[in-house]
Structures are given as C-alpha cells and as structure tokens.
Structure 1
Amino acid sequence: MQAPFASDPGRSRGRLHPESSAGHRSEFQRDRDRIIHASAFRRLKHKTQVFVEHEGDHYRTRLTHSIEVAQVARTISKALGLNEELTEAVALAHDLGHTPFGHTGEDALSDCMAPWGGFDHNAQTVKIVTELERHYAEFDGLNLTWETLEGIAKHNGPVTGTLPQALAAYNARNDLELHTHASAEAQVAAIADDIAYNNHDLMDGLRAGLFLADDICHLPIVGPAFAAVDRRYPGLDPVRRRHEALRRVFGVMVEDVLTESARRLKLAAPARVEDIRQLGAPVIAFSDALKAELDQVRAFLFANMYRHPQVRRMRIVSDRIVRELFAHFMAVPAALPEAWRAEVAALDEAVRARAISDYIAGMTDRFAIAEHERLCPRGP
C-alpha cells in the first residue's frame, strides 16, 4: 500500500509534449522503459567509475552501478510505501550525463568549458533526456514526465544560484521548481547512489589490491562486519569473507536509512507529495551517527583509493585525453563526425564549444582513447 505522500502516476503533471496514455503501463513505467532503451543508457556499459574500462572485467561501470542503485532504491522505496516505478526511473537515469573517465573526465571537460559556463553532469543528464536523444518522430529527447525530470534535476537537493546552462535552458521551457526539494522517490534514488558507491568502492579497491581487508578492519561499520563474519565462519576463504562482510555493510546502510527516514516522515507527517517538496529539508537520510561513520570510510577511500598512485597515473592520462580532444575539435571542427560537423560549422564559438562538449561527454572510455590515438598522436 502506498503512503499518502507517494507520487501517483495518475496525478502526474504530464509531459512537455502531450501523449496518449500507454494503456497497460503507468506513466512512470513508461519513463523507466524509455530510459532503459536510450542510447545514452547503453553507453554506460563502457563508462567507468574509478578505474578505466579496459583495466579489468570485474570493476563497476556506470551501467552496473546504475543497476545496483536501482535495486537498492526499489527496496527502500517499497519499504517506505513510495512509488517504486518513479524511484527506479530516476535511479536508472541519474548517471546518463557522465563523461568518459568518471570524475576525472568531468573535471577536465568543466575546465575546458570554463569560458562558456563550465560542465555539470547532472545538467547534462537533463539535456540528454530532453534534447540529445533523437529517436522519436514528434519530439527530441525522451519526453519524460515532469516528476521524473524533477527527480533527475534535483535528487541531490534544491538547485540554487547560477544554473548550469543546460538546466537553465530546459527550466525556462518547463519549470521544475528547482528551489524546492524533490519527491521522496527522487531522494531515495540519491541516497541509494551513496549506498551503492560506498559499498562497491570498498569491493573494487580490495579486488584491485589497492588495499587489503586488514587495512579496513579498523573502520567503523566495516570492522564490525568483518568481525561478525569471522565469528560465524572462522577460516573462510578471502573472497567469500570480503563478500560476506561487505554485504553486511550494505545491510547496515539500508537499515539505517529506513529507520531514520521513517522517523523523519513520522515527525513531518506529510499528507501529500507537495508537502515533501516544501519541507525545507530532506526526509530520506542517514542518521547523524551513521553519516559520521561513513565520513571516516570515505576519508579512507579518498586517501587509499582515489589518491592511489595507480589511479592517479590513469587520472593524468584521462585528463590529457579529454583536454586534447576538446582543443582539437575546437581548432578543427571538420574532425567531428559528419552529423556533428554540420551542426557546429557555422555557429559562434560558445555554441560550438557546447556542441563539442556534448559530443565528448557522450563518448565511452574506449572510444575516447581510440579517437585520441587517431586524432592526437604523440610524436616519437
């Protein structure tokens, strides 16, 4: 049974371009299906989080991460009586705007775009689902419902101050009420993202040998999880031991969110979804105690994974690839594929830069590497 403050697809604010109903699918199901079938969603298979795509077959990609986020989000959403379909749609879409090479690629592209307003992956996601996906006869983008677009735009909270160009452009056409919080479903998608990456960064760091299990047993949440596994399964082989421990870490985070969110919802007593948006604070959250413990885990990962020499070496290479590709396309627009070349040839510098940014942001890791080798060869 859904809570009174859950989003109701039957009361959706609709789509920018009106469409007839899907019949056997709710409007939020329809959004989810369009996201799954989008070209940008398929490209997430070859975009990575921390490691570059070719470094190993078992590290998380943006696609596997998005699937994990959606699974966690559905679990939390169902337990709290929210709309699972909207939660899943936002969760699956939340990383569509990421560049190749993770945050390194985003930082490099943002620097390249600094004279023209920078680059923001969340705003890029909005641009992808409202403009850059061009498959439908009657509109650009995916023509998602207002609620799904709202969730994509502000699942991390209200968007204030100077808006990224892509987000400002769409918001002028269809007001997403960026100054308010998003629905509880979108907030669930955001915290599911935190849960997923906290867990899989630990797993990927262990698998890559950047640190050992013994190196993280002093950490809160993680240490007690390993201790519980050792008590129940003494002498367990290392691979099973780390899996059993980290699934317990996962469980601790989910249970904490459920408990804390239920407490906040009871205190706020929202009667409808609009009440969630106007509260002025998130209702889906970690407890203060667990958040402080997770801060210690993230500090360890920052020092021992994100700043590990192996990762930093690849960050340097990735940064150079993005910057040199951008400079090359700005100097030689004819190097772009024909469809993009025609679009940017006669445009002013700012519009050309934005189009080149869109093109590079859509690249996978392997395609960016191949294009760089082809277009920007290094001399002997």
Structure 2
Amino acid sequence: MNLRERYEELEEKILSPLATISKNSKGREKDEKKCDIRTDFQRDRDRIIHSKAFRRLKHKTQVFIAPEGDHYRTRLTHTLEVSQIARTISRAIRLNEDLTEAIALGHDLGHTPFGHTGEFALDKVTSNGFKHNYQSLRVVEYLEKGKGLNLTHEVKDGILSHSGELTAATNEGKVVKLADKIAYINHDIDDAIRAGILKNDDLPKECIKVLGKTNSERLNKMIMAVIMHAINYGEIKLIGEVGEATWELRRFMFENVYYGSEAKKEEDKAQNLVISLFEYYMKKPEEMPKEYNQRVIEFGLEQSVIDYIAGMTDRYAIHEFNRLFIPSPWQKYF
C-alpha cells in the first residue's frame, strides 16, 4: 500500500458521511496513472496553484480597479481568503478539505481584468454572453497549458457552480459557494472603510448587532452558523438570524459600494477599454498572440478573442489599449 492509498483509507475512517471520498471520485476526462503520494483532489489543487491563470489573479481587480495601495484586495488575495474560510468549515464538519481547497483556489481563474466590470463588458458585446464561472471552467478544461489541466469531475463541478443559480454536486462545492460570499462581504467592507467610502457607523446597525462590530467577529459568526447548521441538520446553508443579517449586509454593500460609489467611478472607462479591445481583435485577430490565433480554427474567432481578453490582467489590458489606441510620441529629434 503506497502513501496515497493509506491516505484514501484514512479518509474513509475519519471523514463525515457528508464528505466526498477521494477514491470515489468520478475521475478525469482523460485517464491518468494515479500518483503514489497524492490523492486525485490533492493533485488538482497543486495543478491549479502552479498554473499561469492562478498567478495572474494577483493583478486582477477585486473591487478597486488597479489599486495603488498595498493593502487592497486583489482577485488572488480574495481567492486565498475564500480558501481559508472554506477549509475551516470543511475541517470542522469533516468534509474533504483537499477537494474544498482545490475548488476554492480555482473558482475565479476565468475572471476578467477589472473584475465584474470586465465581466459585464464582455457579457454586453458577445453573442452568447459571458459569465466568469463558465470561463473558469473553460480555463481548466481547455486553455491552461494549451490543453487544460484534466481536473476531476468534482473540482470542475465546484468551480462552475460557485456562482449564480447552479448548485454544486458535492457538499465541498456548496461550502466554497458560501465561503466566497462570506469572504467578499467582509473583506470588501474592510477595503471600503480603508478607502474612505464607508465608515463603521454606516453599516446597518441591526446587522452589526447580530454579526459583530469587527471583521473578525463577523467572519466568526458567519462561519460558525454554517458549521452548526451542518452539524445539526446535515445541510450546507447560512440561514436563521445570522443568515438574514448576512444577506442584508450583502444588499447594503451592493447599494453602497458595488453600485455607484466612489470605488466605481472608473468603471465606465474600464468597460469601454474592454469593449474596445474586443472590437479591435474581432477585426484584427492577427494582432493577438500566435497561440490564440491558432485556437480560432478550433473554437471560432469570437471565443478566441474572449479567451484572450478574459485572461488579461488589469495592467496588461491597459498596456494593450495604450499600444493600440494611444499614439506614441515621435522620438527622432534630429
């Protein structure tokens, strides 16, 4: 019995009936020789961490577009916070922490430059619309390394189902979907206060009375509510008094930060930038890197342009816009 097999045997002994057991995975689209050390879900986590798409998240917007300050969240730090929250919940209720972590680390790989602003822009101009969770799945199925990462069915399902009306097939995927919301509600409050857009006193008093005055208190209340409901009822939900306060606080953030606040004053520029790039490459696909031109035959022109733009970081998108649309000064003086 190798190390992987020993670990798989241990999972069956210590994990909850609610958990997804590694050796019971539905597997990968392409069969592979098993690793002697790591379970399939551990391998998936490692593949995501070592991907280029994961590294690019450090230069993609969370809420504040291309922030100058060192302490504002980016899409990468958001991902790490989601992973931490999701692992805490999964460990407490004895779910498969490796599966949870893999889903959490991969859930935003398909996010556009400028966060949801870029997502809305592509959704406007593409013929079939654009959703970042579908693009995240596309990254791990086709785009990364030019052939995808060949992840397990359970990890791909969790990545796709973390957003929108979809429901994950595993409890680990359901945990990540809640952890995503718990993370951004709280860290976006922290960033908004740092930016001077909100003050602590602005937060809804009834919500704060239930959830707590500090970021730490609120996180603890929300996480504990999910854990206790799972222990008592065998369901992954955030409901009851804490759940109601959480969703009310989320509504407050949409009204006061995500829509129409000072944090969003550059959004129109960002959307115009993304739309301009899309329109330009649709007319001149030869201007895209060679690898994306080669995909036109397989995936079509529009999808290849979407893949290229969605993969850009904020700063790369700005660089490309400047290169294509802003005249360079003439430098030959003599």
Relative to the length of structure 1, the TM-score reads 0.78
Paired AA for residue 144 in structure 2: E
1:182 equivalenced with 2:131 (yes/no): no
Query: Conserved in 2, the CA contact under 8 Å of 1:40 and 1:96?
Result: yes
SS at match of 1:16: coil
Residue pairs, 1:159-238, within 5 angstroms? 159=166, 181-216=168-203, 218-221=205-208, 225-226=212-213
Query: Conserved in 1, the CA contact under 8 Å of 2:210 and 2:242?
Result: no
Paired AA for residue 14 in structure 1: G
1:173-220 CA-partner distances (Å, limit 9, x unpaired): xxxxxxx74111111111111110111011000011101122226251
Residue pairs, 1:203-352, within 5 angstroms? 203-216=190-203, 218-221=205-208, 225-226=212-213, 245-265=214-234, 283-344=235-296, 351-352=300-301
Quick one: structure 1 residues 25 and 313, their matched pair in 2 at CA, closer, same or farther if it must change by over 3 Å?
Answer: same
How many residues are treated as equivalent by the alignment? Answer: 316
Q: Distance in 2 between matches of 1:66 and 1:187?
A: 16
SS at match of 1:17: coil
> Deviation of residue 223 (structure 1)?
7.6
1:152 equivalenced with 2:121 (yes/no): no
1:242-268 CA-partner distances (Å, limit 9, x unpaired): xxx110011011111112222331xxx
1:252-310 CA-partner distances (Å, limit 9, x unpaired): 11111112222331xxxxxxxxxxxxxxxxx2111132232123212322232123442
Q: Distance in 2 between matches of 1:264 and 1:294?
A: 20
Q: Percent identity?
A: 44
Paired AA for residue 149 in structure 1: K
- The corresponding residue for 2:4 is none
Paired AA for residue 153 in structure 2: W
- The corresponding residue for 1:90 is 103
Quick one: structure 1 residues 224 and 143, their matched pair in 2 at CA, closer, same or farther if it must change by over 3 Å?
Answer: closer
Quick one: structure 1 residues 309 and 185, their matched pair in 2 at CA, closer, same or farther if it must change by over 3 Å?
Answer: closer
Query: Conserved in 1, the CA contact under 8 Å of 2:15 and 2:95?
Result: yes
Equivalent of 1:126, from 132, 137, 140? 137
Query: Conserved in 2, the CA contact under 8 Å of 1:221 and 1:252?
Result: no
Q: Distance in 2 between matches of 1:82 and 1:17?
A: 26
Query: Conserved in 1, the CA contact under 8 Å of 2:25 and 2:152?
Result: yes
Query: Conserved in 2, the CA contact under 8 Å of 1:131 and 1:141?
Result: yes
Q: Distance in 1 between matches of 2:136 and 2:295?
A: 20
More divergent stretch after superposition (214-223 vs 283-292) = 214-223
> Deviation of residue 225 (structure 1)?
2.4
Query: Conserved in 1, the CA contact under 8 Å of 2:162 and 2:176?
Result: yes
SS at match of 2:198: coil
Query: Conserved in 1, the CA contact under 8 Å of 2:211 and 2:242?
Result: no
1:141 equivalenced with 2:183 (yes/no): no
Q: Which blocks of at least 5 consecutive residues in structure 1 are unaligned?
A: 160-179, 227-244, 266-282
- Name which structure has the greater RCO, CA cutoff 8 Å, separation 6+: 1
SS at match of 2:264: helix
Quick one: structure 1 residues 14 and 307, their matched pair in 2 at CA, closer, same or farther if it must change by over 3 Å?
Answer: closer
Q: Which blocks of at least 5 consecutive residues in structure 2 are unaligned?
A: 1-13, 329-334
Query: Conserved in 2, the CA contact under 8 Å of 1:157 and 1:181?
Result: no
CA RMSD of aligned residues (A): 2.2
Quick one: structure 1 residues 257 and 104, their matched pair in 2 at CA, closer, same or farther if it must change by over 3 Å?
Answer: same
- The corresponding residue for 1:366 is 315
> Deviation of residue 155 (structure 1)?
3.8
Q: Distance in 1 between matches of 2:150 and 2:86?
A: 23
> Deviation of residue 12 (structure 1)?
1.5
Q: Distance in 1 between matches of 2:27 and 2:120?
A: 35
Quick one: structure 1 residues 2 and 97, their matched pair in 2 at CA, closer, same or farther if it must change by over 3 Å?
Answer: same
